Amino acid sequence: MTANGVGTVRGRVAVVTGAASGIGRATALLLARRGARVALGDVDAEGLRGVAEEIRAGGAGAACEVRVDVTLADDVDRFRGVVEKELGVADVIVNAAGVVVVGSFLATSPEDWDHVLGVNLRGPALVCRTFLPAMMKRREGGQIANVASAATFFTPSDLAAYGATKHGLLGLSQGLREELAPWSIGVSLVCPGFVDTPIVEHARFVGEADPEALRRRVRELVRRRGLRPERVAEAVVRALERGSKLVPVGIEARVLRALERYAPGASAHLAKAVRRVVFRR
């Protein structure tokens, strides 16, 4: 195993956060089908049980599930203890837990900022900080995949808090990649565009006269335009196996990345067009 990827996930111990639904769920199921031993973490205990039962029923591989709040250091440490006891030292970490706050910068309260920063940025940092020491001590390499967003390449208005966390996740991934290279531990950043997951149902819409109407429009947009989480899961597992550094997934992510590299400023025009459709202003 090298920093160029784990080669195959078969037989590896893979820790997945946000595993009860969406991208985390799809990634956990795919890892299990590929023969990984999967540790599932999420705040949704009932959803976790369903995923674990699906893995075991399919006979694809070992799994353990732990209800964990990735914003709490004690919770994450307890998660690590269960994983190492039941499955062993982690070979792979997938940080897929995420939340969204939609609203103007001034409408986004300090509590909203704490919420999105806690889950989207503090969470991955805590998970890595907690699981990495044993992985480094073992000196057999490993791989981390952080799930970000197309907002990594360009953040439109009304997504300042969310976009800030995804840009932060880019910085975290870059810094970790350099620091962990001597231990042959690689770090991938996977950046999908619109993905059809339950995240919209749990999103906070702030500063809106009719937040539920906006939620319905966003839900319809991702339903029509969104990627299936299974496609993102395939990109995540491929990044783990190959050690890819930056992986845009979907047309929105690829276009935004290209625009920001070759036509700076053009992304703003695209964002305004989407905003007119969704926000109707």
pLDDT in tens, 130-140: 999 999 999 99
| Residue 3: band (very low, low, confident or very high) from pLDDT cuts 50, 70, 90 | low
More confident residue, 188 or 219: 188
Number of Cβ within a 10 Å radius of residue 210: 9
pLDDT in tens, 71-124: 999 999 999 999 999 999 999 999 999 999 999 999 999 999 999 999 999 999
pLDDT in tens, 37-66: 999 999 999 999 999 999 988 776 789 999
Q: Is the pLDDT of residue 207 over 50?
A: yes
Helices and strands counted in the chain (H then E): 11, 9
262 is catalytic: no
| Cα 278 from Cα 237, distance rounded (Å) | 32
| Residue 260: band (very low, low, confident or very high) from pLDDT cuts 50, 70, 90 | confident
Q: Amino acid identity, residue 152?
A: T
Catalytic annotation, pick one of 153, 162, 194, 205: 162
Instruction: Say which residues have a Cβ less than 8 Å from residue 114's Cβ, sequence separation at least 6.
Output: none
Q: Which ranges of 87-210 does DSSP label H, i.e. alpha helix?
A: 110-117, 123-138, 160-180, 199-202
Listed range (53-57, 225-229, 231-235) with the worst mean pLDDT = 225-229
Find how far residue 258's CA is from the centre of its chain. 22
Which class does domain 13-279 fall in?
A: alpha beta
pLDDT in tens, 152-188: 998 888 899 999 999 999 999 999 999 999 999 999 9
Tell me 243's DSSP state: T
Q: What is the pLDDT of residue 1?
A: 46
Q: Where are the domains of the chain?
A: 13-279
Q: Identify the residue whose tokens are 């990345």.
A: 257
Q: Amino acid identity, residue 247?
A: V
| Cα 277 from Cα 281, distance rounded (Å) | 8
